[in-house]
Amino acid sequence: MPDIQTLLIYIIPVLFAITVHEVAHGWVASKLGDHSAKMMGRLTLNPIKHIDPIGTILMPAVLYLTGSPFLFGWAKPVPINPNALRNPKHDMSWVALAGPMSNFMMAGLWLASIFIAFEIKSQFLIDMAQIGISINLVLGVLNLLPLPPLDGSRVVSSLLPNKLAYEYNKLEAYGLFILLGLLFLGIFEKVILPIVKILQTFMLHTVGLI
């Protein structure tokens, strides 16, 4: 059974990663005309407002306890009303991209925190920062996949003619099952992890940590 410190090393980065991801969607939507998330109190970094029992708690816990090579999860999606956006089809792509981009930015912030950890000689913070980098890179890359309901599918949908976009979006009803199937079949280990490792190595090499 993992101790409290080990759990915190994982829990804190996971909560930050998925919370900021959802807030980013809502914030960009608000800037583009849709204030749904703001009106429902979802533009907050309070993780309690974003917790999804399955995606935030159960899924990461199962992956951790089963020795999965990477962790991921999701928060309760922020409400988005495409019709309230100034240019619904075009703007939805920016709303969708905001989530993964926020994860890549957070990976950079966790990278910066490693230097602070070295200065104060905190192995706890070093370990947490390394997990934070990994989790955010996984979420960023994973969400760019063109599989509904992942963010990458919103970008693809915005580029398709309306009729094709409608048919493509029908996959969303089965997206979670497809996603879980790919996960447990080990497909992501062959697709997502190599990309994540390349990005992680590049980041650490750039700042001289490798």
Look at 8 and 71; give whichever has higher pLDDT: 8
Between 95 and 208, where is the model more confident?
95
Nearest to 81 by CA among 95, 63, 101, 67: 95
Coil, strand or helix at 20: helix
Confidence of residue 2 (pLDDT cuts 50, 70, 90): low
Q: Do 205 and 135 contact (CB within 8 A), yes or no?
A: no
Say which amino acid occupies 53: P
Asked if residue 179 has pLDDT above 90, the reply is no
Least confident of 17-21, 69-73, 180-184: 69-73
Give catalytic residue positions. Answer: 22
State the pLDDT at residue 80: 93
What is the per-residue pLDDT for 25? Answer: 96
Domain holding 108, by residue range, is: 4-206
Cβ(23)–Cβ(44) below 8 Å: yes
Tokens 């940590």 -> residue: 209
Token pair in block for residue 91: 């703007």
Q: Report yes or no: 190 and 136 within 8 Å, Cβ to Cβ.
A: no
Q: Is it true that the peptide bond before 77 is cis, omega within 30 degrees of 0?
A: no
Distance, first Cα to last Cα, the chain: 32
Residue 198 has a pLDDT of 93
80: left (phi over 0), alpha (psi -120 to 50) or beta: beta
72, pLDDT greater than 70: no
pLDDT digits over 25-67, tens only?
999 999 999 999 999 999 998 888 888 888 788 877 777 777 7
CA 118 to each of CA 84, 112, 125, 140, 154: distance values in angstroms, whole numbers, following the listed order: 47, 10, 9, 26, 40
Q: How many domains does the chain have?
A: 1
In this structure, the chain runs to a length of 210
**pLDDT tens for residues 118-176?**
889 889 999 999 999 999 999 999 999 998 889 999 999 999 999 999 999 998 888 87
pLDDT tens for 86-98 read: 999 899 999 999 9
What integer is the mean pLDDT of 13-33?
94
Residue 1 has pLDDT above 60, yes or no: no
pLDDT at 20: 94
**For tokens 């917790």, what's the residue?**
51
- Burial (CB < 10 A; 0-12, 13-18, 19+), residue 141, is buried
